[in-house]
Amino acid sequence: MGCSTSKIPTEEPSTQTSAVETINQGRGTQQEGQHHSSVEQPTPTPALTGEQQRHPEADGSVQRQVDGNAEKAKYRLTRQIERGSHSRIFEAFDRVTNKRVAIKFLARGVYCKNLRAEITNHMMLVHPHIIEAKEVYLTPQFLALVLEYAPGGDLFKYVDARGHLDDGTARRIFQQLVIALEYCHEKKVINRDLKPENTLIMTLDGRPYVKLCDFGYSKQVIETKCKTQVGTVGYTAPEILRGGSDYNSACDVWSLGCLLYVMVVGDYPFLCESERLDDKALFRRTQDRVLKADYIFPGDVEVSRGAADLIRQMLVVDIEKRISISGIKRHPWFRQDLPKAALTLNQDCLRVPAFQIQSRADLERILAEAEHAGVARTNSAGSSNSVFAPRRLSSIPSGSSGRS
Ligand SMILES: Nc1ncnc2c1ncn2[C@@H]1O[C@H](COP(=O)(O)OP(=O)(O)OP(=O)(O)O)[C@@H](O)[C@H]1O
């Protein structure tokens, strides 16, 4: 499977406006148990070994690079896990509980306005198949989002390493994602960027247990509809690419259909890859195919009838005819081997209050403060700490995805 996709710009104006951006893949490897009830119960895995704890960077040097204040920090940073398009993600340990977390560092400044929806929406969602957003805090230069740690990396890597997934594994992951997505929609949050890179793996014992992680393009839709063109090329629904008209939560069903295709086929349904074409030409070609739902199941990969049938019902251009989440939940392929608890899980989750670790008022205050530019610090080596500045994004082909 080719390993990069392109992003459509974020909703609000920012220092980085139009963008095509390469997506990173996760590198998590260790296993860790967790506590929620879920569609699939993960197998408990051992605590960190001494060797794992003695990471070469566990001496505080990473901490000093990030906030220059290793001694007072609540979390001890140990290593960088990944670099996202707007962030750096670090592994860290809570100094009191010694629990492992992931911390996403985002540069402070006006760009943080764009993060309000991401962080507030994420914190509202408390679900076993969604990475827990625990709290935010400020360092002199960064807004830090503390997340539940996912030891297994992301689903893209998982699929890529295996070529494609067998029917049972793909179904188990898909069941978990459908239940998570139904919960988001019940909370009136549309994700708009579902893809394997934004799906993290908690266990790697052959029964993967997954969680959604990135709500960067999510929108809480209570009275308004969505208009803005956001998402990732190759997963974005045709109604978003077409632009102009209102669209709704059915766009997530389309993306989930693409994600299911990627799992069972090991390739993208629409994304065109060619060394002979430049990014703009590839983008246009992909867009043309999405708008016509022009994809095929390749002859050399065996896809079960049930999975293929469900994908066909999800990748329907007309949103009135596209299968709904409740339709998916009735589909025989989805129902096969479905854990009993899955169908009642969301009723329980919808009763769980959000903002238990950090109050909404605190969150709002910190987010407002984060919009003020951070103070430039010098790191322990004496040089200015610019390594965490978001990468510059290159521009997207005009007319193909600008803001509405
Ligand atoms: N809680 C976590 N535990 C472990 N790894 C994580 C966690 N959150 C993120 N990652 C890793 O970091 C990668 C990027 O994370 P995320 O998508 O949240 O960042 P981003 O800046 O929004 O990236 P992009 O815009 O490129 O999608 C993920 O694909 C995953 O590999």
Is beta strand 7-8 parallel, antiparallel or unpaired with respect to 231-232?
antiparallel
As annotated, the residues of the chain forming the CATH 3.30.200.20 domain(s) are 43-150+352-370
Catalytically annotated residue among 67, 154, 193, 252: 193
Across 132-147, average pLDDT: 95
pLDDT at site 404: 28
CA of 145 to the centre of ligand 1 (A): 11
pLDDT digits (tens, 9 = 90+) for 300-321: 999 999 999 999 999 999 999 9
Q: Per CATH, the architecture of 43-150+352-370 is what?
A: 2-Layer Sandwich (3.30)
Residue 269 has pLDDT above 90, yes or no: yes
Task: Classify the C-alpha dihedral 112-118-124-125 as positive or negative.
Answer: negative
Q: How far apart are CA 28 and CA 33, in angstroms?
A: 14
Residue 203 has pLDDT above 50, yes or no: yes
Residue 82 Cβ inside 6 Å of ligand 1? The answer reads yes
Across 171-187, average pLDDT: 97
Q: Whose CA is nearest to atom 14 of ligand 1?
A: 84
Provide the CATH number for the domain formed by 7-12+20-28+152-350 in this structure.
1.10.510.10
- In ligand 1, the atom with minimum distance to the C-alpha of 26 is 31
Helix (H/G/I), strand (E/B), else coil: 332: helix
- Least-confidence region, from 152-156, 278-282, 350-354, 381-385: 381-385
pLDDT at site 291: 96
pLDDT at site 227: 83
Residue 84 Cβ inside 6 Å of ligand 1? The answer reads yes
pTM across the whole model: 0.80
- Tell me: is residue 134 an annotated ligand-binding position: no
Is beta strand 142-148 parallel, antiparallel or unpaired with respect to 189-190?
unpaired
The 3-state secondary structure of 119-132 reads HHHHHHCCCCCECC
pLDDT digits (tens, 9 = 90+) for 74-116: 999 999 998 877 789 999 999 999 999 999 999 998 888 889 9
As annotated, the residues of the chain forming the CATH 1.10.510.10 domain(s) are 7-12+20-28+152-350
CA of 118 to the centre of ligand 1 (A): 13
CA of 294 to the centre of ligand 1 (A): 30
pLDDT digits (tens, 9 = 90+) for 225-250: 788 888 898 999 999 998 867 889 99
Closest C-alpha to 370, from 1, 120, 94: 120
Q: Which residues of 95-133 are buried (b: 16+ CB within 10 A; e: fewer)?
A: eeeeebbbbbbbbbbebbebbbbbbbbbbbbbbbbbbbb
Contacts of 33 (CB under 8 A, 6+ apart): 42, 43, 44, 45
Task: Return mean pLDDT, the chain.
Answer: 79
